[in-house]
Amino acid sequence: MPIGTYIRVRRASRAAALLRLTRLTIIEISAKLFYDSQQTFTREFKKIFGYTPRQYRMIPFWSFKGLLGRREINCEYLQPRICYLKERNIIGQCFNFRDLVFYSGIDSKCRLGKLYDSLKKNTAITVSNRIPFHDKTNDIIARTVVWDRNKHFSDSEIKVDKGLYAYFFFNDTYDQYVHHMYNIYYNSLPIYNLNKRDGYDVEVIKRRNDNTIDCHYFLPIYCDDMEFYNEMQVYHNNIVKPEMSVTLGLPKS
């Protein structure tokens, strides 16, 4: 890819994330990313993604087709398996943050600190995130709920919707967690042409004795194309075999 094209697509991809994750106006996003004008921004965006900025913001799913994340030499991006998850009602401890999907900023490090504290007390934890989760500001907001069956320590109740999920797995040091999550969103999803459905995801994080973690990540996806089922393997009934539900930290249905 020519360097000029790479720069244009990377900037438009940043705009796409801002359209989906914030309430910033199209004019504000155009100015934030240094487009000459709103008209220039709109033309460039539609040329790359096939939607105007307004259309992209309004579609009922988050389209990753055409998005481009940071690329690394000789890096192999995670390949998903497509799974079916049953509906689950979950209780747990909740907190909000602002920058998980973008970069390893202050909020992401704070979130990691809270998860690490939970992981030190347990060999495995299960977490659900809703991205985006807006408050009344224009900030990027996401909500994280650490599952906890003890009602005395829980402050929130959520529902994990039934439907198709993209399942990713990685084993690495805890410091590389944000790096993997970034690549899932901005490289794996575009490569495999997957669209994110609104709703809570599921993460099962297991601590290993060699100072690494296993992360099982289930991301809700949207699909209305039946040919999709012929291209990727779909697992029905449960994400994994029922006897593994305890191992992964998922409640039995």
Q: Are 48 and 12 within 8 A, CB to CB?
A: yes
Does pLDDT of 236 surpass 50?
no
Whole-number Å distance between alpha carbons of 190 and 65: 5
Question: DSSP H helical segments within 78-232, as ranges?
Answer: 106-121, 177-183, 189-191, 228-231
Q: Residue 148: what pLDDT?
A: 85
pLDDT, the chain, mean: 82
pLDDT-above-70 percentage for the chain: 79
Query: For the segment 111-150, what is each residue's pLDDT rounded down to a tens digit?
Result: 777 777 888 888 899 999 998 776 666 565 788 898 987 7
Burial code (b: 16+ CB inside 10 Å, e: under 16) for 45-71 equals beebbebebeebbeeebbbbeebbbee
pTM for this prediction? 0.83
Helix (H) or strand (E) holding 88: strand 88-97
Identify which has the larger pLDDT, 211 or 66. 66
Rounded to the nearest 5°, which phi and psi values hold at 62?
A: -95, 105
Q: Are 216 and 167 within 8 A, CB to CB?
A: yes
Q: Residue 105: what pLDDT?
A: 54
Does pLDDT of 237 surpass 60?
no
Query: For the segment 148-206, what is each residue's pLDDT rounded down to a tens digit?
Result: 877 767 788 999 999 999 999 999 998 888 889 889 999 999 999 999 999 999 999 99
Query: For the segment 57-101, what is each residue's pLDDT rounded down to a tens digit?
Result: 999 999 999 999 988 888 889 999 988 899 999 989 888 877 655
| Segment 35-54 mean pLDDT | 97
Q: In the CATH scheme, what is the code of domain 3-59?
A: 1.10.10.60
Does pLDDT of 108 surpass 70?
no
Residues present in the chain in total: 253
The ranges assigned to domains in the chain are: 3-59, 81-248
Fold of 81-248: Multidrug-efflux Transporter 1 Regulator Bmrr; Chain A (3.20.80)
Angle subtended at Cα 189 by Cα 185 and Cα 191, rounded to the nearest 5 degrees: 130
